[in-house]
């Protein structure tokens, strides 16, 4: 069974440019999460999808960040325009659903974003 | 509000010696708690989870953790370190008792020397 996959693994862009990160969850997982770790800080929650709907986007830092999950499969996270403080590692996770044994979050390897 | 504090940012041990990674939590009720591990260039992997069934939890790769309510601790241990244990370890608590939003500790980087 394929795990959570994220593309690209690394991205280097200049301030003001746009970057789109992609996450493919484990097949059949309705729940998809985005997290971020900026340099020297803890991993922080960004948002949570249930299928194609945003369940919780309380961690999104500002309106330069846009997450989508059209069709309830893969998700994209767009940063436009990117700022220096957006640099960090962006993690995606997925879980099957609610209830015992179904709510464990499985993580991808992350996308390392460097904004110069 | 829930939080976790990992007391050591770096731990260094020799191969074959015990490992102790410390985590304290803050919660107004008995939380669920997790330990995740991240090896270089890999995703975060669940090591073990505590969900109030038993205070001593066994995980993968010989790791275990003990939930101590009186000390608000959930330390991760392993009797004998292996070179392959070198990684970063995260103590994690779900927000508000649910599983939808995870709150991470700052991480402890474990180095294992021959």
Q: Summarize pLDDT for B37-49 with one digit per residue, the tens.
A: 999 888 899 999 9
Q: Report the SS3 class of residue B84.
A: helix
Task: Quickly tell me which residue has 């995870």 as its tokens.
Answer: B102
Q: For A37-59, what is each residue's pLDDT tens digit? A: 998 789 999 999 999 999 889 99
Q: Of the candidates B46, B103, B107, which has its C-beta nearest A104's C-beta? A: B46
Rounded Cα–Cα distance for residues B2 and B84 (Å): 31
| Distance between first and last Cα of chain B | 41
- Residues B1-21, mean pLDDT to the nearest whole number: 94
Q: Which of B33, B36, B51, B99 best tests the A interface by mutation, with the highest count of A CBs <10 A? A: B99
CB of A7 within 8 Å of a chain B CB? The answer is: no
Interface test with B, best of A3, A107, A110 (most B CBs within 10 A): A107
Q: What is the pLDDT of residue B35?
A: 96
**Strand bridging mode A88-95 / A106-107:** antiparallel
Reported as half-sphere exposure (CB side, CA atoms, 13 A), residue A51 has a value of 1
The answer to whether the Cβ–Cβ distance between B99 and A107 falls below 8 Å is: no
pLDDT (0 to 100) of residue A102 = 61
| A36 close contact with B: CB closer than 8 A | no
Per residue in B61-99, pLDDT tens?
999 999 998 899 999 999 999 999 999 999 998 887 555
Inform me whether the pLDDT recorded for A100 exceeds 70: no
Please state, for a pLDDT cut of 90, what percent of chain B lies above it: 70
The residue that leads in pLDDT, B30 or A7, is A7
Q: Does the pLDDT of residue A33 top 90, yes or no?
A: yes
**Neighboring chain A residues of B36 at a CB cutoff of 8 Å:** 107
Q: Phi and psi (nearest 5°) for B70? A: -65, -25
Question: What is the C-alpha R_g of chain B?
Answer: 13
Q: In Å, what is the CA distance from A107 to each residue of A25, A112, B67, B83, B93?
A: 9, 14, 24, 23, 16
- Name every residue whose Cβ is closer than 8 Å to that of residue A75 and which is 6 or more positions away in sequence: A22, A23, A25, A32, A34, A49, A67, A68, A69, A92
Measured in angstroms, the CA of B81 and the nearest CA of chain A are apart by 24
Q: Distance between CA atoms of B112 and A5, rounded to whole angstroms? A: 29
């Amino acid at each position: 069974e394929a795990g959570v996959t994220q593309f690209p693994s690394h991205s280097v862009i200049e301030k003001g440019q746009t970057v789109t990160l992609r996450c493919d969850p484990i097949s059949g997982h309705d729940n998809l999460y985005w997290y971020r770790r900026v340099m020297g800080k803890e991993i922080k929650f960004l948002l949570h999808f249930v299928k194609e709907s945003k369940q919780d986007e309380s961690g999104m830092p500002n309106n330069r960040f846009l997450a989508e999950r059209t069709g309830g499969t893969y998700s994209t996270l767009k940063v436009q325009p990117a700022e220096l403080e957006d640099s960090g590692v962006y993690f995606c996770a997925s879980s099957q659903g609610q209830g015992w044994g179904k709510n464990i979050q499985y993580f991808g390897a992350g996308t390392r974003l460097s904004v110069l | 509000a829930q939080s976790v504090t990992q007391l050591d940012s770096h731990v260094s041990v020799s191969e074959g010696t015990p490992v102790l990674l410390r985590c304290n939590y803050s919660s107004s009720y008995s939380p669920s708690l997790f330990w995740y591990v991240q090896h270089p260039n890999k995703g975060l992997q669940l090591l073990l989870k505590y969900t109030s069934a038993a205070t001593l939890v066994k995980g993968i790769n010989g790791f275990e953790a003990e939930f101590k309510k009186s000390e608000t601790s959930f330390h991760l241990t392993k009797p004998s370190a292996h070179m392959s244990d070198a990684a970063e370890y995260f103590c994690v608590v779900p927000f508000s008792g649910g599983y939808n939003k995870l709150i991470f500790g700052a991480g402890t980087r474990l180095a294992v020397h021959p």
